[in-house]
Structure 1
Amino acid sequence: MPDPTDRLLILTLALAIEAAIAYPGALFRAIGHPVSWIGALIAIFDRTLNRSEFSFSQRRLTGIVTISSLVAVSLAAGVAIEALARAGGLAGFAVMLVAVATLIASGSLDRHVAAVPRALAAEGLAGGRRAVSMIVGRDPETLDEPAVCRAAIESLAENASDGVTAPAIWFLAGGLPGMVAYKAINTADSMIGHKSERHLAFGWAAARLDDLVNLPASRLTALLFIAAAAVVPGASATGALAAVRRDAGRHRSPNAGWPEAAMAGALGLRLAGPRSYGGVMVDDHWMGDGRTKASADDVRRALRLYRVAYCGAGAVVAALALLPLIARG
């Protein structure tokens, strides 16, 4: 496993690379993405072990077996890649860099969210619904334009934690094995961790483990948004802090409420609230106490806050990576 200084340097470069080029669409069409490979494995477990003839307790047990096996395979894959990288000199360093950049989604998230206001401007509500359906699981046809914009901002806030902060934390804490295992857990939660009849028991372990591994990232992401709001014109750090203190714990997720509340308070909006998934209404608590009528301009403001937050965080990581090099030189 790379030492902490090496991990800081690799993370700094990986963040810069992914922010600049994201994950190339042509590459995804050709070979998929590590997350899609993990998803394919989860689907096999789901088809094989989540059987309708099993009792509730049996399905919960097979779900525990599934997530345990998935974590074990992910850790082994991370260990193998790191061992290969250690033996490969400069080429090995490049392998690590590509692997880490592939598992962080800062640039990809930015591009997907930025597509929503562009689609609204070019194609109206139908275009906005289509663009936001790429990043949220709710029913797009139920969304008016303010709801489309709120959905994009909520996705930006939550996925900043799940897709950027958390993978970075787990890479720094556990190297590539920790990062790959985190992505496996998070992917499992998104696929089987919901409370549908099919997955209530089978996905229980995945959902609970995802709640645990995302706890530090959700709090840190909220702090990043609060800090960014202090320097972004038109944003409110005090509003962000007040919303987090008042609303974060009221979200149905123990983690999503933190970045969503911080984003809502910073921008003077209300996010989350009642919404529809697969025809089922979820009566969630509102995050923030501002406007519900979000606009395309609000999506752009949210992106500005996100970019400042993560450029600032990246600068801190880069400084920490460079300090030992400067001290030695």
Structure 2
Amino acid sequence: MTAARTGLPVFACGTALGYLCDLAFGDPRRGHPVAAFGRAAHAVEQRLWRDHRGYGALHTAVCAGGAVAGAALLSRAARRSRTAGVALTAAATWTVLGGTSLGREARAVGAALAAGDLTAARARLPHLCGRDPQALDEQQIARAVVESVAENTSDAVVGALVWGALAGVPGLVGFRAVNTLDAMVGHKSPRLRRFGWASARLDDVVGWPGARLTAALTVLCAPDRARALRVARRDAARHPSPNAGPVEASFAGALGVRLGGTLAYAGRVEHRPVLGAELRPVEVADVERAVRLSRRVSLLAVGTAVAGRALGRLLTTRRTTGRTTGTRRTHR
């Protein structure tokens, strides 16, 4: 049986199995491949770092390009066996998805807030985002959790599935590699402002389709779709991030809460526009609602990725068949 004939079943079965593994087990506590990639990328950074965009671009190309090349070689080796193809796709999907761990961390902070333990909530918040927890009160922590769940639904789930549908295992691995590099060097610290520019811009590019799909699926899952769509369309462009904007605005409308405002990152304060200004402030109970919304969006994203892959295969097969038929007619 050829790879062309087994491509859809391999991707569909592998993606579904990988998603179920993430639901059941979350991220492995030890030996996570993403952590290993992070250590390798850090070692490359130590050798290449200069306060220069060119060296940062080289760092991005070496790390992300190496990850994609390795995934492509594994994919080629697995083409001859359907079982190997399913296993590789499942392993890659499980590796790059982080929806279950995202939900666990969000719920841990929410539980601490619900118990009135602000100290525990502040201690746990850095597992989700890079904000300074000591500068936040209960409501601000709850808002930070909801915003992190929204953004990471795209970064840790939907975006990866989109690239898996477009490019298979290399797409899955490449997306996670770029996303990891952005988290490592893409922020605007004085040391990394120039060096991390390439990783940050590349992350914006690869995250673009996943963010739009996340926003669309969030509107579809919203109890009040009209409100979610209205807030997403009106407020998405107000956010400084081209990809976080649509996602957070759609979550704000779907949950009926106000997001954005003043943020603190390690002593650096940002004043962001408010998303859903007419809506109510975030409450502790909204953390659980955000996690459930994220789960529904993620499940729909799996189905969308499989359907998109199927459609792409069908169109490719029809074009190939049409060219072959035309060539045969010409030779007659």
Normalised by the length of structure 2, the TM-score is 0.86
In the other structure, the counterpart of 2:141 is 148
1:218 Cα deviation after fit: 0.5
Contact 1:5 1:321 in 2 (8 A): no
Q: Could you tell me which of 192, 200, 206 is aligned with 1:199?
A: 192
Normalised by the length of structure 1, the TM-score is 0.86
**Code of the aligned partner of 1:180:** V
The SS at the match of 2:281 is coil
- Alpha-carbon distance change, 317 to 12 in structure 1, aligned in 2, over 3 angstroms: farther
Looking at structure 2, the residues matched to 207 and 71 of structure 1 have their Cα atoms a distance apart, in angstroms, of 13
Looking at structure 2, the residues matched to 89 and 318 of structure 1 have their Cα atoms a distance apart, in angstroms, of 17
Provide the aligned length of Structure 1 versus Structure 2.
308
1:311 Cα deviation after fit: 2.8
Contact 1:265 1:289 in 2 (8 A): no
**Code of the aligned partner of 2:26:** A
Gaps of 5+ in 2: 314-332
Contact 1:15 1:106 in 2 (8 A): no
Question: Could you tell which deviates more after superposition, 266-275 or 219-228?
Answer: 266-275
Looking at structure 2, the residues matched to 296 and 124 of structure 1 have their Cα atoms a distance apart, in angstroms, of 12
**Code of the aligned partner of 2:270:** V
1:268 aligns with 2:256: yes
RMSD: 2.3
Looking at structure 2, the residues matched to 159 and 281 of structure 1 have their Cα atoms a distance apart, in angstroms, of 21
1:180 aligns with 2:179: no
1:99 Cα deviation after fit: 2.3
In the other structure, the counterpart of 1:17 is 21
In the other structure, the counterpart of 2:208 is 215
- Alpha-carbon distance change, 290 to 129 in structure 1, aligned in 2, over 3 angstroms: farther
Looking at structure 2, the residues matched to 196 and 316 of structure 1 have their Cα atoms a distance apart, in angstroms, of 37
For the pair shown, the structure with the greater C-alpha radius of gyration is 2
Looking at structure 2, the residues matched to 127 and 295 of structure 1 have their Cα atoms a distance apart, in angstroms, of 17
List aligned pairs for 1:280-299, cutoff 5 A. 280-291=268-279, 293-299=281-287
- Alpha-carbon distance change, 318 to 64 in structure 1, aligned in 2, over 3 angstroms: closer
Looking at structure 2, the residues matched to 257 and 199 of structure 1 have their Cα atoms a distance apart, in angstroms, of 23
1:83 Cα deviation after fit: 3.1
**Code of the aligned partner of 2:66:** V
**Code of the aligned partner of 1:248:** A
Looking at structure 2, the residues matched to 256 and 4 of structure 1 have their Cα atoms a distance apart, in angstroms, of 31
Looking at structure 2, the residues matched to 277 and 313 of structure 1 have their Cα atoms a distance apart, in angstroms, of 31
List aligned pairs for 1:11-160, cutoff 5 A. 11-25=15-29, 28=30, 31=31, 33-51=32-50, 56=51, 59-87=52-80, 90-91=83-84, 93-122=86-115, 124-160=117-153
**Code of the aligned partner of 1:44:** A
Contact 2:14 2:85 in 1 (8 A): no
**Code of the aligned partner of 1:227:** L
